[in-house]
C-alpha cells in the first residue's frame, strides 16, 4: 500500500493566515448579479430583490471579502451609472462580455448586500477608460461621511453612513490585450501610481492593489510585474495574481497537480517583488493579492459561450456556467492548499466567481440554489483554517506528469490555532488509481480529539445539479485514527480530505 508521512510542529510557522484569503469575486458578468444574487420576484427575494437562499449559501461558504464590480467589466464601467433612482439609471453596452448592463445594482445596493452576508468589499476602480478623477470621485462617494458634493449625494440616495471600503484594486488585468485601455506596463504604472497617490491624499490608510500579470503564461510575465512595482512600490500594498486551471487534451495527471503551477507562480511574483524591494533598499514588503483563481474551462467559453452576434446585446446571458465535477473539486482543494502554504505572502485572495459564473453556487430563475462540488472544500477550509500555517515535513511518493515532471502524490498543508487549541490538516491524493495511507505525527500539538471528512466519488466526473444537488458531498472519513499523537488516515484516489484536531 502507498504511504506518505508528515510531521506537525507548532514551532515552525510559515505565517499568520489573513482571513481575506477566503475572499470571492462578484462581477457584472453573465448571471452572477442578475438572476444570481439579485432576482426580484423570486419566492425567496425580499423587497430589495436579493435572493435570501443565495445569501444563506454565501454565509455558509464563509466569504470574507468580495471583489467588485469586476473583472474585465470594470474597465468600461461608469460607477455613477449605478447610484441614485433606479428609474433614472442608464442602460449601457458592456464591451467586455458583449452584454447589456441595466445598472439596477450598483455600489450602494451591493454594499448593503455584502454587509448582510458578512463580507467586506474589495472595490476595483476603472483605469481602462477612466483615471485619477473618477477614482477620487467614487472614493469620496463611498468613504467620506458627509459635507461634500458626492458624500451628500450618497446620503440623498439613501445611504447615510459611509461604506468605509478599505481595500481598492487599481484597475484589472491591464497587461491583457483583451482589456479596454490596455497599454504598456509603463503607461499603466504611471497612471496607477498617480491614482494611488491621489487616493492616499483623501485617506492615507487605504490598502491598494496594483495589477500584476493576469497569468504566468503571459509573454510579459515577470517583466510587467517588475516595471509596475518599480514605478509604484512606495504607493501600493499588494500586487495581484490571477490563475485559472483546466485539463488540457485529457491530461488529468497534470490537472491534478495544478497547485504545483500555482506554487511556482506565487514564488516567482514574490521573487520579483523582493527584487524591486532590494533595488530600492526598502524596508517595506509587498504582499500578494491572488484576487482571481479557480478551475475554469476557458476553452469552453471560447468555443461555446462567447457571444459572436455583433447585433445581440443580451442582459445576463448564460455564459461561463461551468458545472464542476468531483475531479474539479479535488483540484480546487489543492489550489486552496497552495494559497495557505504561502500565508506569509498571500494575504488576500478572491475565488472567481461567487454565483453562476464559474462559481461554487448555482441558481435557476424562479427555482433553487445549490452547492457545486467546489463549494465544499472552500466552506470547510474557511471554517477550519485559523491561526497560522505550519511548515510541514512531508514525505510522499511521486507520480509523473507531462507538465510538471515528478510531483508528490500527496499534497498537504496544516494550520494551527494556539488560542482555540485546534489544528487542521488538508490533504489531496493526486493519484488517479491508488489510495494512499498517510501517517501524521501530531504528537507535538498535544491534542486528543479527531474528526475527518473526505470529498471523493468513484465517478470522478460526477457533479451536483438542480435535480441532484447532493450527488457529491464530503463524507466522514472512517479510516482516520488518532493514537499517541499519531494520525493515520487513508485517502481514496482523486480525493480531498480535511482533518480537524482539538
Positions marked catalytic? 173, 292
SS (H, E, C) 14-64: EEECCHHHHEEECCCCCCCCECCCECCCCCCECCCCEEHHHHHHHHHHCCC
Query: For residues 407 and 394, is the Cβ–Cβ distance under 8 A?
Result: no
Q: How far is CA 141 from the centre of its chain?
A: 26
Using CA atoms, how far apart are residues 322 and 356, in angstroms rounded to an integer? 8
The H or E element spanning position 68 is strand 65-68
Cell digits for 124?
A: 476595483
Cβ within 8 Å of residue 95, ≥6 positions away: 76, 180
Query: For residues 231 and 186, is the Cβ–Cβ distance under 8 A?
Result: yes
* Residue that the C-alpha cell 452576434 belongs to: 309
Nearest to 335 by CA among 352, 313, 312, 311: 352
Cell digits for 143?
A: 468613504
Nearest to 1 by CA among 332, 431, 294: 431
Cα–Cα distance list, 475 to 259, 269, 360, 471 (Å): 24, 37, 18, 11
Alpha helices (H) in 320-398, listed in sequence order: 326-341, 375-384
Number of H-type helices and E-type strands within the chain: 11, 26
Q: Is 103 left (phi over 0), alpha (psi -120 to 50) or beta?
A: left
Going by their DSSP bridges, the two strands 120-125 and 65-68 should be labelled as parallel
Using CA atoms, how far apart are residues 109 and 64, in angstroms rounded to an integer? 18
Nearest to 373 by CA among 243, 286, 460, 253: 460
Nearest to 26 by CA among 119, 145, 93, 90: 119
Q: How far is CA 170 from the centre of its chain?
A: 17
For CA atoms 29, 32, 37, 41, the dihedral sign is positive
Using CA atoms, how far apart are residues 493 and 414, in angstroms rounded to an integer? 21
Using CA atoms, how far apart are residues 486 and 430, in angstroms rounded to an integer? 23
Cell digits for 388?
A: 497560522
Q: Which letter does DSSP use for residue 444 in this model?
A: G
Amino acid at each position: 500500500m502507498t504511504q506518505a508521512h508528515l510531521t506537525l510542529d507548532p514551532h515552525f510557522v510559515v505565517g499568520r493566515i489573513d482571513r481575506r484569503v477566503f475572499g470571492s469575486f462578484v462581477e457584472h458578468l453573465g448571471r452572477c448579479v442578475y438572476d444570481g444574487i439579485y432576482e426580484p420576484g423570486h419566492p425567496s427575494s425580499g423587497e430589495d430583490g436579493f435572493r435570501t437562499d443565495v445569501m444563506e449559501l454565501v454565509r455558509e461558504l464563509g466569504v470574507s471579502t468580495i471583489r467588485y464590480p469586476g473583472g474585465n467589466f470594470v474597465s468600461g464601467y461608469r460607477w455613477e451609472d449605478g447610484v441614485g433612482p433606479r428609474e433614472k439609471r442608464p442602460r449601457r453596452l458592456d464591451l467586455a462580455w458583449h452584454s447589456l448592463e441595466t445598472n439596477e445594482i450598483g455600489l450602494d445596493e451591493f454594499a448593503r448586500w455584502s454587509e448582510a452576508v458578512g463580507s467586506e468589499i474589495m472595490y476595483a476602480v476603472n483605469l481602462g477608460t477612466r483615471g485619477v478623477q473618477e477614482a477620487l470621485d467614487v472614493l469620496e462617494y463611498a468613504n467620506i461621511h458627509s459635507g461634500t458634493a458626492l458624500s451628500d449625494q450618497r446620503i440623498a440616495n439613501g445611504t447615510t453612513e459611509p461604506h468605509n471600503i478599505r481595500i481598492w484594486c487599481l484597475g484589472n488585468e491591464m497587461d491583457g490585450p483583451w482589456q479596454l485601455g490596455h497599454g504598456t506596463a509603463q503607461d499603466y504604472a504611471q497612471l496607477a501610481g498617480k491614482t494611488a497617490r491621489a487616493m492616499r491624499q483623501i485617506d492615507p490608510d487605504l490598502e491598494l492593489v496594483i495589477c500584476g500579470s493576469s497569468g504566468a503564461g503571459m509573454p510579459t510575465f515577470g517583466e510587467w510585474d517588475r516595471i509596475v512595482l518599480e514605478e509604484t512600490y512606495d504607493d501600493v500594498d499588494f500586487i495581484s495574481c490571477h490563475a485559472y486551471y483546466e485539463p488540457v487534451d485529457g491530461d488529468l495527471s497534470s490537472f491534478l497537480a495544478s497547485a504545483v503551477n500555482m506554487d511556482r507562480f506565487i514564488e516567482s511574483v514574490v521573487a520579483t517583488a523582493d527584487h524591486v524591494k532590494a533595488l530600492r533598499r526598502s524596508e517595506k514588503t509587498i504582499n500578494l493579492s491572488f484576487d482571481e483563481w479557480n478551475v475554469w474551462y476557458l476553452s469552453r467559453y471560447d468555443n461555446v459561450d462567447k457571444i459572436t452576434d455583433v447585433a445581440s446585446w443580451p442582459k445576463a446571458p448564460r455564459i461561463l456556467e461551468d458545472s464542476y465535477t468531483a475531479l474539479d473539486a479535488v483540484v480546487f482543494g489543492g489550489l486552496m492548499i497552495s494559497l495557505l502554504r504561502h500565508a506569509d505572502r498571500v494575504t488576500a485572495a478572491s475565488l472567481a466567481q461567487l454565483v453562476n459564473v464559474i462559481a461554487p453556487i448555482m441558481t435557476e430563475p424562479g427555482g433553487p440554489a445549490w452547492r457545486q462540488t467546489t463549494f465544499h472544500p472552500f466552506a470547510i477550509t474557511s471554517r477550519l483554517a485559523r491561526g497560522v500555517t505550519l511548515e510541514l515535513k512531508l514525505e510522499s511518493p511521486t507520480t509523473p506528469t507531462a507538465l510538471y515532471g515528478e510531483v508528490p502524490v500527496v499534497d498537504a498543508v496544516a494550520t494551527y490555532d494556539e488560542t482555540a487549541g485546534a489544528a487542521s490538516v488538508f490533504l489531496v491524493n493526486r493519484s488517479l488509481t491508488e489510495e494512499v495511507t498517510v501517517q501524521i505525527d501530531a504528537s507535538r500539538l498535544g491534542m486528543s480529539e479527531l474528526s475527518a471528512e473526505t470529498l471523493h466519488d468513484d465517478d470522478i466526473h460526477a457533479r451536483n445539479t438542480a435535480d441532484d444537488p447532493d450527488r457529491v458531498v464530503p463524507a466522514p472519513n472512517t479510516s482516520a485514527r488518532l493514537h499517541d499523537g499519531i494520525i493515520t488516515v487513508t485517502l481514496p484516489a482523486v480525493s480531498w480530505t480535511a482533518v480537524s484536531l482539538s
